[in-house]
Every structure is written in structure tokens, then in C-alpha cells.
């Protein structure tokens, strides 16, 4: 069988992309090194909360979607889209090893005329320098002559029901004009609006701008939370009011710290690359510092709230509400909830958590001690047994009125209690 395209890396980005292409009739091959994901797809089973098994099963049954761990199948593909992780190394430097490894895996099977598109978020130059280098070395082919090369950043918004791959405009930059044309033609089959740009580097830089924009604006709201808080002004009310301005303003919200695969990580891809050009990125780094300091501020607030009740943190039973990094998803990557749990446990608190999407905390590199901990059951006696509940992530399917009815002290980092009927001094906004 010849596939219209392969998607390498079947995670939060790659799987929805596979489904979007197969739904419009393309023959899609999903490739991953994780046999379990491949087996799940072939069995029509989803392993991502917001993707339905029925959707996968339908595409498999229609023979538009297949999956494999065998990279030699790249020989049968007209295009290959790379959606592999781009984390930070232990010194917070970009780690593009997954991209390079994938390039090495597919290069021996690359056919003339094939299109390779990198989708992973990364610094400008990754596609036309680093990836191009391994593809050419491993295939003996030349980019722009023998095969096409492009970059097109993913704009997935997990947990947002209005975020449909087909409707999110897709920025595409090609290594040559012919590469761009080929990539635009492919994406046009599955995505409504394509935004061509002049190079892979512009497309890479676009994605970084989008994510740094979020980081900087969240930092601004985190600062205003402290400043306005000291003035007795509720920053959440201010944001609601500012939101009514129909131009020149876009709301962002403060929180307990950044989470997820993108916002805490991507700015460092630019700051690292900027050094090579003698450019400083103090503004971006400052936003990162502010956001990273938020868990400490939240913990201080919890201390004070307990102190008012003549309790100390040591020995207190604390329930952390929401383990995932953002509302309505099951994704734990870089979740600030785990940072808060570390800090509170470090001060001698007894920690439990509740998260309807995360029944058990999975292993994480940075917080291994929480792996295997199970969410408590949502019931009155259990909630009442805690000295305080700390809302870290506000899932929509939690009953916050019940929380108000059952818990004596709530520290709320998300303004989740805004519509609940609460007692005086019961809720501390942090």
C-alpha cells in the first residue's frame, strides 16, 4: 500500500493530525517507537482523553489509518510529518535529540520526491540545518532537489472543545519555493486555511512568538495579582472588566505556575539560540522567572490561611485539587500541581489530591515520589477531613459548590469559587 503520508510521533499532536488527514480520505500511517500506542490505534482504542476511540476505530475500519513501529515503511509514504517531543535538557537547554533520532530513523528509507515536514516546536534553524543535515547524511539525497523539506508548527489546544485541527490556520515555511508549494498542497487537503511564509525559519520563529506571547502575558497577570492584591483589588475582577474592551486587549489569567509541554519550555529554545547571535532575551527570561516563582507565592498564602486558623503547615492535611497542568485534560506534563505538592510535603504537610482525569499520578522525571499516588474519592467525609483544599487546576466537572459546603478552608489559584456560595474567610485567592 502507498500512504499519502506518515505521521511520526503519535502523541497529543500526532494522533489528532493522523485522524484529521484520514477523515478527509488520505491514507495515513502512524509511526511511533512506542509499541503500546501503535497497538492501541490498531485496536481502535484511544489513549488520549479528548480523542474518542470511535474516531480511531472508524478510520482503521475504513482502512485509511494504520500504525506501525517499522520505520522502513517510510519507503511507501509520499510525505512524512514529524511530531516528536522537544523537551529541555537537564541544564534547561533545548533537546532536539528526538528530532535528530527520527531523522536518522527515516533517512535510509527516504524516497526521491518525498516531503518531510517538521511540526515539533523548536528554534529557528532546526529544520534547514540540523534536520536537513541528518536526512541528507542518512539518505544520500539533497534537500530541495531530491526531497522536499518544510516546517509547519502545530497549534493544538488540548481540552478546548472548539479547537478542531481542520479549522486552525496552519503556518507553513518551505526550504525552497517548491518545498513550500508541496507542503501547502498537502495541508490544504485537510486544513481549511494555510498561511505560507517565506522560510522554515520564519515558521519556526512564528511558533516561538505565539508561545512566548502567552508566557509574557501570563507573567504580567501574575505580577498584577500580587500588586493589585496588596492594594485590596481582585485581579480577576479587573481582568473581567478589561475583557469588555473590544480592541487592543486579550485576557490572560494568573495561576499557580506554568505547566504543559509548551509555555514553560519553548521560551528557552529562543533564549538559547539568541546567545549564538549575541542577543539578550532578558524580557523573556524575566517572564519565566516570575511564572516559576508563583508556586512559592501560593504556598505562602496557604501558610497564612492556616496560620489564621491557628494551624501550622506541618502535620496539616492538604488536598490539592487538579493534578493535570490545565483544566479539562489528563496531561500531567510540567504540572505546577506537582511542584506545589513537593513544596507542601517538604514543609511537613500530608498531601492528597483529587483529579477526575488523573486517577493515578503517572511517573514523571522531575517528581518521581508521587508516581502511583491515587486520587481520593469525591465524597463529603473525605473532603471534610482536610485542613485545607488548594485549587491548583480547575476542571469544569468538579462541583465547587459542594466543595464550599464541605471544606472549611479553600485556597483558590484559579478563581474557581467565583460562583459558589461561600462563607466569609472560607476562600483565599492565591
- Please report, as ranges, the residues that interact with ligand NAD according to CB under 6 A: 8-14, 31-34, 37, 83-86, 98, 101-102, 105, 120-121, 154, 156, 158, 261-262
CB of 262 to ligand NAD, least distance (A): 5
* Burial category of 253 from C-beta neighbours within 10 Å (exposed 0-12, middle 13-18, buried 19 and up): middle
Measuring CA to CA, which residue among 399, 397, 351, 406 is closest to residue 375?
351
CB of 20 to ligand NAD, least distance (A): 14
CB of 221 to ligand NAD, least distance (A): 21
- How many CB atoms neighbour CB 69 within 10 A? 14
How many CA atoms lie within 13 Å of 324's alpha carbon, on the beta-carbon side?
A: 17
All 3 cell numbers of residue 274?
Answer: 539568541
CB of 269 to ligand NAD, least distance (A): 9
C-beta of 105 vs 408, nearer to ligand NAD: 105
Q: Report the C-alpha gap between 169 and 16 in whole angstroms.
A: 15
C-beta of 325 vs 386, nearer to ligand NAD: 325
Q: In sequence order, what are the residues at sequence separation of 6 or more whose Cβ sits closer than 8 angstroms to the Cβ of residue 129?
A: none
Question: What are the φ/ψ torsions at residue 428 (nearest 5 degrees)?
Answer: -110, 120
26 is catalytic: no
C-beta of 101 vs 384, nearer to ligand NAD: 101
Cell 539568541 belongs to which residue?
274
Q: Report the C-alpha gap between 366 and 402 in whole angstroms.
A: 33
C-beta of 40 vs 407, nearer to ligand NAD: 40
Nearest residue relative to ligand NAD (C-beta): 11
CB of 105 to ligand NAD, least distance (A): 6
C-beta of 205 vs 313, nearer to ligand NAD: 205
C-beta of 121 vs 291, nearer to ligand NAD: 121
Residues 298-327, buried b or exposed e (16+ Cβ, 10 A)?
A: bbebbbebbeeeeeebeebebbbbbbbbbb
Residue 345 in contact with residue 315, Cβ under 8 Å? Answer: no
When computed from its CA atoms, the radius of gyration of the chain, rounded to whole angstroms, is 23
β-bridge pairing 388-391 and 350-354: unpaired
Measuring CA to CA, which residue among 199, 189, 222 is closest to residue 151?
199
CB of 268 to ligand NAD, least distance (A): 12
Cell 515558521 belongs to which residue?
203
Q: Report the C-alpha gap between 366 and 292 in whole angstroms.
A: 15
* Burial category of 336 from C-beta neighbours within 10 Å (exposed 0-12, middle 13-18, buried 19 and up): buried
Cell 495579582 belongs to which residue?
225
C-beta of 99 vs 389, nearer to ligand NAD: 99
Q: Report the C-alpha gap between 46 and 59 in whole angstroms.
A: 12
CB of 307 to ligand NAD, least distance (A): 39
C-beta of 120 vs 301, nearer to ligand NAD: 120
Catalytic residue among 200, 262, 389, 422: 262
CB of 309 to ligand NAD, least distance (A): 39
Q: Report the C-alpha gap between 322 and 335 in whole angstroms.
A: 10
Q: Report the C-alpha gap between 354 and 392 in whole angstroms.
A: 10
Q: Could you list the active site residues?
A: 262
Amino acid at each position: 500500500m502507498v500512504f499519502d503520508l506518515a505521521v511520526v510521533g503519535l502523541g497529543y499532536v500526532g494522533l489528532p493530525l493522523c485522524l484529521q488527514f484520514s477523515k478527509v480520505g488520505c491514507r495515513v500511517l502512524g509511526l511511533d517507537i512506542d509499541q503500546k500506542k501503535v497497538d492501541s490505534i490498531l485496536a481502535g482504542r484511544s489513549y488520549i482523553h479528548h480523542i474518542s476511540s470511535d474516531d480511531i476505530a472508524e478510520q482503521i475500519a475504513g482502512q485509511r489509518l494504520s500504525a506501525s513501529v517499522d520505520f522502513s515503511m517510510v519507503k511507501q509514504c509520499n510525505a512524512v510529518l514529524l511530531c516528536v517531543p522537544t523537551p529541555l535538557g537537564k541544564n534547561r537547554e533545548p533537546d532536539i535529540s528526538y528530532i535528530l533520532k527520527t531523522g536518522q530513523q527515516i533517512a535510509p528509507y527516504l524516497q526521491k520526491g518525498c516531503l518531510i515536514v517538521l511540526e515539533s516546536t523548536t528554534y529557528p534553524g532546526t529544520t534547514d540545518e540540523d534536520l536537513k543535515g541528518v536526512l541528507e547524511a542518512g539518505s544520500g539525497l539533497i534537500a530541495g532537489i531530491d526531497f522536499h523539506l518544510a516546517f509547519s508548527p502545530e497549534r493544538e489546544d488540548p481540552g478546548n472543545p472548539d479547537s478542531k485541527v481542520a479549522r486552525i490556520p496552519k503556518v507553513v515555511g518551505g526550504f525552497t519555493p517548491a518545498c513550500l508549494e508541496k507542503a501547502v498542497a498537502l495541508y490544504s487537503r485537510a486544513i481549511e486555511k494555510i498561511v505560507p511564509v517565506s522560510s522554515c525559519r520564519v515558521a519556526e520563529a512564528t511558533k516561538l512568538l505565539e508561545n512566548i506571547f502567552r508566557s509574557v502575558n501570563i507573567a504580567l497577570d501574575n505580577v498584577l495579582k500580587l500588586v493589585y492584591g496588596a492594594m485590596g483589588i481582585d485581579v480577576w475582577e479587573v481582568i473581567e472588566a478589561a475583557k469588555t474592551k473590544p480592541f487592543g486587549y486579550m485576557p490572560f489569567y494568573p495561576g499557580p505556575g506554568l505547566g504543559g509541554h509548551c509555555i514553560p519550555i519553548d521560551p528557552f529554545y529562543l533564549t538559547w539560540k539568541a546567545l549564538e547571535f549575541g542577543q539578550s532575551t532578558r524580557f523573556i527570561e524575566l517572564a519565566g522567572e516570575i511564572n516559576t516563582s508563583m508556586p512559592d507565592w501560593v504556598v505562602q498564602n496557604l501558610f497564612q490561611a492556616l496560620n489564621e486558623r491557628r494551624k501550622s503547615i506541618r502535620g496539616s492535611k492538604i488536598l490539592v485539587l487538579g493534578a493535570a497542568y490545565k483544566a479539562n485534560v489528563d496531561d500531567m506534563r510540567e504540572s505546577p500541581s506537582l511542584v506545589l505538592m513537593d513544596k507542601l510535603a517538604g514543609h511537613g504537610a500530608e498531601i492528597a489530591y483529587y483529579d477526575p482525569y488523573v486517577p493515578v499520578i503517572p511517573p514523571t522525571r522531575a517528581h518521581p515520589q508521587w508516581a502511583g499516588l491515587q486520587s481520593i474519592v469525591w465524597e463529603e467525609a473525605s473532603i471534610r477531613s482536610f485542613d485545607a483544599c488548594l485549587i491548583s487546576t480547575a476542571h469544569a466537572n468538579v462541583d465547587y459548590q459542594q466543595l464550599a459546603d464541605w471544606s472549611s478552608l479553600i485556597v483558590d489559584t484559579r478563581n474557581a469559587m467565583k460562583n459558589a456560595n461561600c462563607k466569609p474567610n472560607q476562600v483565599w485567592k492565591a
